[in-house]
A and B are shown apart, each in its own frame.
Chain A
Amino acid sequence: MSDLHNRLVSAEADRPDLTEENVNKGEQLTQMQMIWRRFRRHRAAMVSLVLLLVIVAFAFVGPLVWPYDHTVSRDIAGNLSPSLQHPFGTTKQGNDVFAQTMRGAQQSLKVALVVSIVSTTIGSIWGAIAGYYRGRIDAIMMRIADVFLIIPLIVAVAAISGNVRGGTTWYAVALIICFFSWATIARVVRGVVLSLREQEFIEAARAAGAKVTRIIFRHLLPNAAGPIIVAATLLVALAVLTEASLSFIGFGIQPPDISLGKMVEGARTAAFTRPWLFYPPGVLIVLICLTINFIGDGLRDALDPRQTMVRR
C-alpha cells in the first residue's frame, strides 16, 4: 500500500493541471455582443437585415433627396415609360411612381412598426398575466381575447376606418390593426407561459420571494421570447398586408396620400400593359414581409442562449 501512496504523492507533485475546464478560452463577451454574433451566423437573416435597411433608407431618406414628391405635379408629363428621370415611369395623372413608391413604403413601414410594438406589448402582457394566474382570471381574459379573434380583421377595420373622421391617416390605420390583432399574440404567449410557470426556476423565484411583476418580466417573458418573436413577425407581415388590402379596397390611407396598396389598386389594370406601375409597389410589399420574417427567425435563434455557437 505504501507503494501506492508514494505513487500518489509523486503523481500529485508533477501533475499537469487538468482539472480546470478547458472551456473558458475565449474572451468574455457581453450579452449583446453574443446575441449579435449568433445573429450574424444566420445568413438569411443577415441578408434580410441588409435588404430591409436598404428599403428603410429608400423610404425615409429617399424622399429627402429625390426631386419629386408623391403628389401630382404640373412639371411631370403623364404616362411616361421608365427613364433616368422617372425610373418607374409616371401615372396618367402625372405622378412620379418612384416618389410614390418611396412614400408608400414609408407608410407601410410606419404601420408595421407601430403594430409590432403596440400589439406585441399588449398581447404579451395580457397573455402572460392570464397564463400566470390561470383559473378564473385566465378564463375571463382569454374570452375577451377570443372576441377580438373571431371578428374578421378586414371587415372590422373596414367598418371602423370608414367612419373615422377626417379621412384615414397611417397611424389611425395602424392603431385599428393593433386593436384587432393583439389577441393572437396573447394566445400564443398564454400557451407558452402555462407550461413555463410549472418549471422549477419559476418556483425558485417564488421561493426567493419574487413579486409577480418580476416573475413575469424577468423570467416568463424572456423565456417566451422565441414564440413571441415568431408571432410578432407574422403579425407585422400581416399588418403590412392588411394595410395594403385596406388601401386596395379603398378603406385605408386616403388620397392625396398614397400607400403601396393604393398604388397596386391604381395600377391593377396596367399589370400587363405598363408593368412598371404595378410591380414596384407589389414586389416591395412582398420584400418587406419576407425580410421581416427572416429577421424574426434569426432573432429567435440569437436570443436563445442554448444555441451551440457560443464562445468558441
Chain B
Amino acid sequence: MTTTEHKSEGPVAADDEIVLDVQDLNVTFSSEDGPLQAVRGVSYQVRRGEALGIVGESGSGKSVTSMAIMGLLPRTAKVSGSARVLDQEVIGLNDAQISKVRGRRIAMIFQDPLTSLNPVYTIGYQIVEAILTHRKTTKQKARERAIELLDKVGIPNPERRVDQYPHELSGGMRQRVVIAIAMANDPDIIIADEPTTALDVTVQAQVLEALEAARKETGAALVLITHDLGVVAGHVDRVAVMYAGRLVETGTVEDVFYRPRMPYALGLLGSLPRMDEERGARLTPIKGTPPSLLNLPQGCPFAPRCPMVQDVCLSEAPVLTAPEDAEERHEDPLARHLAACHFSDQLAGARPQDLFQATELRGSGPEAVAEEEKDAEAGSGAEQEGDSASSEILLSATDLVKHFPIRSKGILRRKVGEVQAVSGIDLELREHETLALVGESGCGKSTTARLLLQLIKQTSGDVRYKGKPLHTLSEAQMRPLRRDLQLVFQDPFASLDPRMTVWDIIAEPMQIHGRGKEAKQRVGELLDLVGLNPEHGSRYPHEFSGGQRQRIGVARALALNPKVLILDEPVSALDVSIQAGVINLLEDLQDELGLSYLFVSHDLSVVKHIADRVAVMYLGKIVETGTTEQLFSAPAHPYTQALISAIPLPDPVKERTRERIVVTGDVPNPANPPSGCRFRTRCPKFAGELSETERLKCVEEPPVLLDRGTGHQDACHYSKAVELI
C-alpha cells in the first residue's frame, strides 16, 4: 500500500464495518427445460460507505444476485448460500421477517422509473408510506421528511412537487423520487439496478449525481449494477465483473480497467467504442454469444468465446484467485485484485487488441465473403469506384418540417395543438459517407429518418434522392426507389416478423420487387455476408440472439442492393460485446458495397467511432453540424458540449478528473417549445454566463446555423468552441 491510497480506505476507514457479506450465493430457476443456474457461487463484501459496481451483460445474473439478497425472487427460484446484512442472515427469511430488513437496511432502486412508482398515489404519499412502514412517527413529520428528501435529490420546488402524481414528473425526476424513497429510512446498503439505463445521457448525469448525494447523506454502501462500463468507472471504488452467473474478476476500478486479468474483462473493454480515442481503430468484439444458462459447459464458462482457450479451460472451472505477479498488493483483503482465469498470469500488460484482433482476422470474418459479393454485382461496382471528396449528394432534405397534430378526444377530434417533431432541418448525405444524426429521445431524429424514407409524409419542405424530389411521389411511384433506400431498426426483437422464417424475412423485399427467383441463391449469400450460417435460414427469429437478429435485419436491408442505409439506433439495444461485432460489420459492408449510411443514434461514443460527419439535433432543430473531427475536438454549441461531457468514459482517472458542462432539467415538451433558442431553458451559458441584455437575444431570436470555419456550423448566438476530451 505505498502508491495509490484507495478511496474507500481513506476518510471512512474509521467504521470499515462490512455491511453486506455475500458468501457462495447460488440461484437456480427450474424451467421446463431443466434447471437454469442464474447465479453460481457468488461471494462479495461491501463496507459501509463504499461503492461496488457489478458489471455484466444481460443474462449474466447480476440482477438476480441482488434480487436474491432482497428476497424478491419468485418462489420457484432455489436460493442457497448466505447473505448477511449487518451480521443478520437474510437468505431463507420468510416474507414478514425480510420486510423488516427491506427498505430499512437495504433499499433498492430499479431500472424503470416509469413502472416503479404507483401511478395512482402522489409521490409524497409514496415517500411517507416508505417512512411510516419502518418508523413510528407522525404523518406530519413524515411529510416534512419527504420534502427534505426531495430537496436532497435535487428536485426543484419540493413543497409543490410532493403533492404531484408520478405522471406529472419526467423520467429523470421520477428516478430521483425513487432514490428519495430508497433514502427514506437511512439504509445501510443501497442497491441500484441499472438506475440510469432508461434515461437520456444528460439526465443520467443528473441522476448519478443524486445517487452520489444519497450515498453521502446516508453513509450507505452502494451496489451499482450496470452494463455500462463508463458509469462504473466514474462512480464506484471497486468493480466485480460477472459472466454466466459467476464473478470472473474483482478488484479496484483502477486494477480492473487498467490491468484486467481475465480475457472477458479485457474483451469487454476492447469492444467498447470510446470517445477519447481516435476514429479508425477497429473494435475488437468477442466472438459468439454468452452461453445458455441451461446447459453450461463444464469448464470455464467463457471458454467457448475465449481466444486463448486451452484443454484445461474446458474441463476445469477456474476460481477467483489473485494473479501471482499482481502489480499492487493491497493490504485490504477486499480490494485485492482477483481473476477467474487459469492463465491470468500471462495477461499482465495485455491489451484487448493482442487477444481479440487475432481471432477476428481468421477466415470466418465477413471480408472474404464480401469480396465474392462484389464480384457478383460487378455491374454496380463501376459507380462505386468514383467516390472521392467531391462525391455526389445522394439524399438531401431542405427545410424539412413535421408536425404531428394533437387531437381532442371525442367524435369531432378537433386539432388542439401540434407536436413539432421536426422544425425545419437541412441534411445532405453524400455517397459513401456516414452521416450521424445525434440527439436525446424525443428530439425528432427517428422522425427525420422516416421522413427521408417517406414512411411518413412531411408537413412541409422537401426530400430529394439524387436530385429527384421524393415528397411529390405517390406510394406506387415511390416503390421502385425503395430499392435504393433501406432501413435498419433499433429493436432486433420487434423488427422481424415472429411468424416468418429468416429465409422468408430476407427474401420478402425481393419478392415485393418481383425478383423472387433470385431469392433462392441470394438469401444464402446475404446470410453469409452478415456473418451468419446460411443453413439457418429455416429458423425463426426467436431462435437467434439479439446480435444475430440485428444481422438478419441488416441482411434484409441489403437484399435489394441499396445505395443508402438508414440505421435507426442499430446497436443501442445490444450488449457491448455484441455491439462491437455489428459495428464492425457495418463498417466492412460500407467499404465493400460502397454504401452511404445515415446513422441515427443517441450514443456519441459509437458515433465518434463510425461517422464521417455529425449533426446534433435538439427539439426538432439541428444545433450543430460538422465533421466528426471538428465536432468532437471543438464542440461549439453548449448542448453539444453538454452531451459530450455527459457521456461517461470507461476510464476511471479520466472520468473523475474531466471538465464537465452540466445541463439541468429535462427536454421541454415539443408541443410547446421555448421561444427563441430552444435550448435556452437548459443552457448553462444562458443561466450562468450571459448578461441580461445578451439573454434577450436568446429569448427573442431563434439562432440559425452559421458556418464559423470550414463547414463547421452551429446554431448559437454566443457559441464558443471548447476542448473537452
Contact = CB atoms under 8 A, between A and B. Distances in A.
Contacts of A203: 450, 455, 487, 489, 495
Contacts of B513: 208-209
B364 to A, nearest CB: 8
Given A1-B350, A19-B287, A204-B489, A223 B497 contact: yes
Given A24-B535, A209-B513, A222-B499, A204 B287 contact: no
A219 B304 CA distance: 37
B499 A225 contact: yes
Contacts of B535: 24
Interface string A13-34: 0011011110110001001000
B394 interface: no
Q: Place the interface of chain A in its size category.
A: 35 or more
Given A4-B350, A24-B535, A219-B497, A208 B486 contact: yes
A207 B498 contact: no
B540 A208 contact: no
Contacts of B491: 200
Contacts of B536: 24
A5 interface: yes
Interface string B466-501: 000000000000111011011101110011111111
B383 interface: no
Contact of A8 (B33, B308, B364, B490): B308
B309 interface: yes
Contacts of B349: 1
A201 interface: yes
B495 A19 contact: no
A200 B497 CA distance: 9
Contact of B512 (A19, A214, A225): A214
Interface in B593-622: none
B501 to A, nearest CB: 8
A54 interface: no
B573 to A, nearest CB: 11
B309 A15 contact: yes
Contacts of B129: none
B542 interface: yes
Interface string B453-465: 1010000000000
A75 interface: no
A8 B263 CA distance: 12
A175 interface: no
Given A19-B287, A28-B538, A201-B496, A4 B482 contact: no
Contacts, number: 126
Interface stretch (A163-171, A232-240, A268-276, A303-311): A303-311
A206 interface: yes
B343 A7 contact: yes
Interface centre among A201, A206, A211 (most CB of B within 10 A): A201
Interface in B339-356: 343, 346-347, 349-350, 354-355
A5 B490 CA distance: 38
B495 A200 contact: yes
A19 B497 contact: no
Contact of B304 (A4, A19, A23): A19
Contacts of A57: none
A236 to B, nearest CB: 23
B331 to A, nearest CB: 30
B495 A8 contact: no
Contacts of A3: 346
Contacts of B490: 200
Given A19-B287, A306-B542, A5 B354 contact: yes
B31 to A, nearest CB: 9
A210 interface: yes
B499 A204 contact: no
Interface in B697-721: none
B550 to A, nearest CB: 12
B231 to A, nearest CB: 28
A6 to B, nearest CB: 10
Contact of B498 (A305, A308, A310): A305
Nearest to B32: A308
A209 B478 contact: yes
B543 A204 contact: no
Interface string B533-554: 1011010101100000000010
A83 interface: no
B499 A207 contact: no
Nearest to A20: B533
Interface string A216-235: 00110011010000000000
A16 B314 contact: yes
Contact of A208 (B480, B482, B542): B482
B667 to A, nearest CB: 23
A201 B541 CA distance: 12
A200 B489 contact: yes
B441 interface: no
B323 to A, nearest CB: 14
A305 B497 CA distance: 11
Interface string A270-312: 0000000000000000000000000000000001111010101
A16 B359 CA distance: 14
Contacts of B314: 16
A36 B490 CA distance: 34
A286 B498 CA distance: 36
B455 A210 contact: no
A18 B346 contact: no
A204 B307 CA distance: 37
A105 to B, nearest CB: 35
B303 interface: yes
B359 A12 contact: yes
B89 interface: no
B509 interface: yes
B508 interface: yes
A3 B308 CA distance: 12
Contacts of A199: 494-495
A23 B543 contact: yes
B307 A8 contact: yes
A23 B303 CA distance: 18
Q: Which of A8, A223, A304 has the most CB of B within 10 A?
A: A8
A214 B507 CA distance: 14
A205 interface: yes
B482 A223 contact: no
B497 A18 contact: no
B308 A310 contact: no
Contact of A4 (B354, B479, B480, B538): B354
Interface string A235-259: 0000000000000000000000000
A84 interface: no
Given A1-B354, A3-B346, A205 B508 contact: yes
A306 B304 contact: no
Interface string B212-251: 0000000000000000000000000000000000000000
A11 interface: yes
Contact of A310 (B346, B497, B533, B543): B543
Given A1-B354, A308-B33, A204 B343 contact: no
Interface in B46-72: none
A165 to B, nearest CB: 41
Nearest to A207: B487
Contacts of B533: 20-21, 24
Given A19-B288, A209-B478, 14 more contacts: A15-B309, A16-B314, A18-B304, A21-B533, A200-B495, A201-B497, A203-B495, A205-B497, A207-B453, A208-B508, A208-B512, A209-B480, A214-B512, A312-B33
14 contacts: A3-B346, A12-B358, A12-B359, A18-B309, A21-B533, A23-B543, A24-B533, A24-B535, A204-B496, A204-B556, A207-B453, A211-B512, A214-B512, A305-B499
Interface of A: 1, 3-5, 7-8, 11-12, 15-16, 18-21, 23-24, 28, 31, 199-201, 203-211, 214, 218-219, 222-223, 225, 303-306, 308, 310, 312
Closest 3 CB pairs of A and B: A200-B495, A209-B482, A18-B304
